[in-house]
Amino acid sequence: MGLINYNIEKYTPQQLVIIPLALLVVSLILLSLNMVTTGMPVKPGIDFSGGTAVTLDTSDTSDQLKAVFAAYPLTEVSEGVNNGKFLKFGSMDDAKFRSLTELISQKYPNAKIDQIGESFGKTLQQQAVLAVIFSFIGMAIVIYLSFRTFVPATAVVLSAFADMVMTAAAMNLVGIPLTLGTTAALLMLIGYSVDSDILLTNRVLKRQGKLTDKLKGAFQTGIIMTSTTFAAVTAMLIVSWLGSVQILMEISAVLLIGLVFDVLNTWLTNAALLKWYVQKDGGK
């Protein structure tokens, strides 16, 4: 796509990393602030904190719903399009939950209910944290093994890390909770993010030619890759938004945010580190 002219020739690596670095620092601060105040870097959804999530198809307004569920610990009502309503409840005991399901099946037979107990949520959370850590380590191992040179491999791993951290921070700002679905999306980002990084590194290190041309060529391919993924995920977001499919909506929103940061981290962070590495060695 010839629309964007990617030319980083006139900038030094230091100038290039300054924006992503600043963003990364801000993101890390945001996440640690959250960690200190809530105990989790990203606000956990009911999958991890426990509680009940209900999706309804009703023309009742939020206020009407609040009145209907006044006897239950309703914490949040949000609206989708086409009468989709998303309700969240805090923890309640078995008896209360049974009466809630009874009320829902009576009044709103067209519903989806998900309830996670607090201790189960905690177990899920521990496992999710482990999954993220293992995934990241696994990814790093593959990258180091396949590149076998320290700086380029570290650049890729660092970009992936920055992607995840920035996306997680953005989730807090936008108000997307960390659920099983969004955890999966974050892991998916590891895969997406290294895609374009690997392409970039390969082109720069293994091809002959001027660095600027190689970067330009890699960018042409890379940006198309990101646009196709972006297109597929946007399609998913639009359809799931129209159909009030919350889990798909959250997954695709996180992927979209992540892809934007991926563009930034691949073509500024990773490219800058590569440029520095190649110039330091006198170019290959």
Partner 1 sequence: MNSKEIKGIVTDWRVATLIILVVLSVFAIFPHFDNEGNLATNLQYGLDLQQGAWIQLEFGAEVVGFTTDRPVDEVVKELSTRLDTEVYQIDETHLEIRKFYTQAELEPVFTAAGGKLTSYNQGVSKATAEDVKRILENKINTLGTKDAKVNTLTGLNNVARYVRVELAGVDMKQAQEIVGKQGKFEIRVQTLGNSTEHVLFGDAITSVQMPSQEPPGSDKWGVGFTLSEDGATAFQNAAIKYGATVDPANHYLIMLLDNKTIYSAPLSEDLAGKLQGEKTRQLFASTGTGKYGTQQATNLEIHLRAGALPVDVNIAGSGGVSAPLGERYKLMALLAGLFALLTVAFVIYYRYREPGIVLPMVLINASEIVILLGFISLIKFQMDLPTIAGLIAVLGTGIDQLVVITDEILHEGKVPSPNLYLKRLSRALSIIVTAAATVFIAMLPLALMDLSTLKGFAIITILGVLVGVIITRPAYGKIIMEILSK
**Could you tell me the smallest distance in angstroms from the CB atom of residue 229 to partner 1?**
4
CB 162 within 8 A of CB 24: yes
3-class SS of residue 95:
helix
Please enumerate in sequence order all residues whose Cβ is within 8 A of that of 133, keeping only pairs 6 or more positions apart, or say none. Answer: none
CB 273 within 8 A of CB 155: yes
Taking the least distance from each CB to partner 1, the nearer of 30 and 218 is 218
Please enumerate in sequence order all residues whose Cβ is within 8 A of that of 20, keeping only pairs 6 or more positions apart, or say none. Answer: 162, 264, 265, 268, 269
Cβ burial of 10 (10 Å; 0-12, 13-18, 19+) is exposed
**Could you tell me the smallest distance in angstroms from the CB atom of residue 103 to partner 1?**
10
Taking the least distance from each CB to partner 1, the nearer of 27 and 229 is 229
**At residue 133, what are phi and psi to the nearest 5 degrees?**
-65, -50
Taking the least distance from each CB to partner 1, the nearer of 254 and 268 is 254
**Could you tell me the smallest distance in angstroms from the CB atom of residue 12 to partner 1?**
28
The residue written with tokens 């602030």 in the block is 33
**Could you tell me the smallest distance in angstroms from the CB atom of residue 118 to partner 1?**
9
**Could you tell me the smallest distance in angstroms from the CB atom of residue 115 to partner 1?**
5
Taking the least distance from each CB to partner 1, the nearer of 22 and 235 is 235
**Could you tell me the smallest distance in angstroms from the CB atom of residue 73 to partner 1?**
17
Taking the least distance from each CB to partner 1, the nearer of 55 and 167 is 55
Token digits for 153? 């491999």
CB 242 within 8 A of CB 80: no
Taking the least distance from each CB to partner 1, the nearer of 143 and 170 is 143
Cβ burial of 91 (10 Å; 0-12, 13-18, 19+) is middle
CB 185 within 8 A of CB 135: no
Taking the least distance from each CB to partner 1, the nearer of 63 and 94 is 94
**Could you tell me the smallest distance in angstroms from the CB atom of residue 79 to partner 1?**
16
